[in-house]
A and B are shown apart, each in its own frame.
Chain A
Amino acid sequence: MSAYLSFEKHIRELENKISELKTIGQGSQVDLEEDVRKLQKKLKRLLRDTYANLSPWQRVQVARHPMRPYTLDYIREMTTDFVELRGDRRFADDKAIIAGMARFEGMTVAIIGHQKGRTTKENIERNFGMPHPEGYRKALRIMKLAEKFGFPVLTFVDTPGAFPGIGAEERGQAEAIGHNLYEMSILKVPIVVSITGEGGSGGALGISIGDRLLMQENAVYAVISPEGCASILWRDTEKAPVAAEAMRLTAQHLFELGVIDEIVKEPLGGAHRDPKRAASILRRAIRRHLSELMKKDPDQLIEERHKKWRAMGVFGE
């Protein structure tokens, strides 16, 4: 584990100690196994305690962890025969969104998800997971393909937001997102949305209209980034932790507000500590929801999806 978060100081110390002991144990006659076991037990407890009580801002940091699994990791772990499809057939291919077809639990599915990079080079290529309009239009193209051939759609959401740039505005970022919301609300095949990292505003929503919304326990989802909110309402980006608290952006909050259907557990200490296991837990949740949805005919599916979204919001009358 390379990147520790600021609140993981004790975890880092303990993990270092364990690996030290292991190294010493290998080279000497002294049996340190018992000590290692004890420390590992302690580490487990520490991880559990730390991760059970994360503040919203700490969750934002976990959601942004550079080792957190991304869409391509989930595709690799959950599916076989993945074929990536590229381009919006209008302007370009946007590498901040991955789209394609694959086999999931024996079914052909369409997969769409944001994709961040791990290296600087890759991040530049993928624009840090911030799509341009072409990304949303490619996503829609693949959804329409899925509808035509009757495959369900799985989306994976992890973006700081849609990119705010000159080209993005010239080519209609707002229109591209709005159009997706509209089309996804009446798409005639099941859509299961998994929020796996940062749910960054409209940039996340643009591939998030679905029949079921699943959210990993350390993912976050809000109308604007905590930094953006802090800069506008507090006029100080340093207040991001306070803004994160105020925006109620955790999975638990979203569940209580009736926005998501299920909180998906992560391995102890976050998805980045065990991506394989994170993928297997998420895969089972997606499978369960998908098999329920596959029993419904398109009219019922769309009617229920409409009702679900129609009911969102809190107001008095």
Chain B
Amino acid sequence: MVRLWFKKRPFSKVKDSKQRVPRGLWVKCENCKEMVYKEEVERNLKVCPKCNYHFRISAKERIELLVDKGSFKERDASISPKDPLKFKDSKRYMDRLKEAQRKTGMKDAVICGTASIGGYPVELVVFEFGFLGGSMGSVVGEKVTRAVERACESGTPLIIVSSSGGARMQESILSLVQMGKTCAALARLSEAKVPYISVLTDPTTGGVSASFALLGDVVISEPKALIGFAGPRVIEQTIRQQLPQGFQRAEFLMEHGFVDMVVDRKVLRETLRRLLSLFENGRRAWAL
């Protein structure tokens, strides 16, 4: 392996002088700290082949991973953020938005649309953690709400894949009330008896976990994903105590009864397909 890395080095350098070779070929696993061959990680759906750590993936990669090829049709792509508070810390909120938009090619932190999974139609919402930490402001709240409403109208099951630090500080109260807005929409979805599957990925905390993310009819999590209300740092500072190992990880949540199952990325799609088929089958039986 090491020899291969040295051999390849000059070639990569020619291709892209800016990119440092080691970074291009090898990545350090954030969990086991081992250097792993990047191509192998990619082939393994961005899961560390050594320790099964699930690297964060982009919303676009997530969609590709989950849905039937070519079935995704994006909705509400034109909804864009504003800066009603004229918020400025060390940077203007508007500048932060522009930077995030440039980096991700997205207008805000979720992609929504319709797709099929194993032939079953779904309304899909996927968070992009790379966009201001997947934080929920007015745009995310509105897009999630619209997706829930579409699911409600069409009777299509809803899947939300969360990856978010919580409510977006730069929209303050307007972010906070999105929690109420999305949950109000979910209440109607539930009354309409349309299934909602919530998929939690690393991390799902704050205003997203404390609103729709833990309210799924079925709640699934990827292994070791950080899930909680408060962030671990805040808790440590508050109680001045070291947190137990595995605290607020997916497996911990499952043990305490808040997550139905912890599912490896490579079987996530199949798990969703199976659930969708069971719901669909059940609904048909009931309709008779």
| CB neighbors of B among A195-253 (8 A) | 201-202, 205-206, 208-209, 221-224, 228-229, 232-234, 243, 246-249, 253
Cα A118 to Cα B66 in complex, Å, equals: 54
Contact A223 B210 (CB under 8 A): no
Q: Identify which of A174, A186, A310 contacts B214 (C-beta below 8 A).
A: A174
**Considering only CB atoms, which chain A residue lies closest to B234 in the complex?**
A164
User: In the complex, which residues of chain B have a beta carbon less than 8 angstroms from the beta carbon of A183?
Assistant: 187
Whether the pair B184, A309 counts as a contact (CB closer than 8 A) is: yes
Name A173's contact: one of B142, B181, B210 (CB within 8 Å).
Answer: B210
One of B74-82, B119-127, B268-276 at the interface: B74-82
CB-CB under 8 A for A309 and B181, given A169-B235, A201-B176, A315-B139: yes
Pick from A169, A171, A222, A229: contact of B247, CB under 8 Å:
A169
**A182 near B210 (CB under 8 angstroms)?**
no
Q: How far is the CA of A313 from the CA of B171 in the complex (A)?
A: 9
Q: Chain B residues near A312 (CB, 8 Å)?
A: 141, 174, 177-178, 180-181
- In the bound complex, what is the Cα–Cα distance between A220 and B229 (angstroms)? 22
> Chain A's nearest CB lies how many Å from the CB of B221?
13
Report whether A172 and B238 are in contact in the complex, using a CB–CB cutoff of 8 Å.
no
Least Cβ distance of B143 to chain A in Å? Answer: 9
| Contact for B173 among A181, A223, A306, CB less than 8 A | A223
Contact of A315 among B90, B138, B188 (CB under 8 A): B138
Task: State the CA gap A254–B174 with chains docked (Å).
Answer: 9
A165 at interface (Cβ–Cβ under 8 A)? yes
Q: Does B85 contact A (CB under 8 A)?
A: yes
Measured in the bound complex, the distance between the Cα atoms of B144 and A310 in whole Å is 12
Which of chain B's residues has its CB closest to A161's CB?
B230
Contact A202 B210, CB 8 Å, known A164-B230, A166-B235? yes
Tell me if A271 counts as interface (CB < 8 A to partner B): no
How close is B104's CB to chain A, nearest CB, in angstroms?
17
A177 at the interface (CB under 8 A from B): yes
Question: Which interface residue of A173, A179, A233, A249 has the most chain B CB atoms within 10 A?
Answer: A233
| Contact, CB under 8 Å: B229 / A249 | no
Binding site for A on B (CB under 8 A): 78-82, 84-85, 87-90, 137-139, 141-142, 145, 167-169, 171-181, 183-188, 190-191, 205-207, 209-215, 227-230, 234-235, 238-239, 241, 243-244, 247-248, 256-258
The 10 closest A-B pairs by CB, nearest first: A164-B230, A313-B138, A185-B184, A181-B183, A174-B209, A173-B229, A233-B89, A174-B229, A314-B84, A174-B210
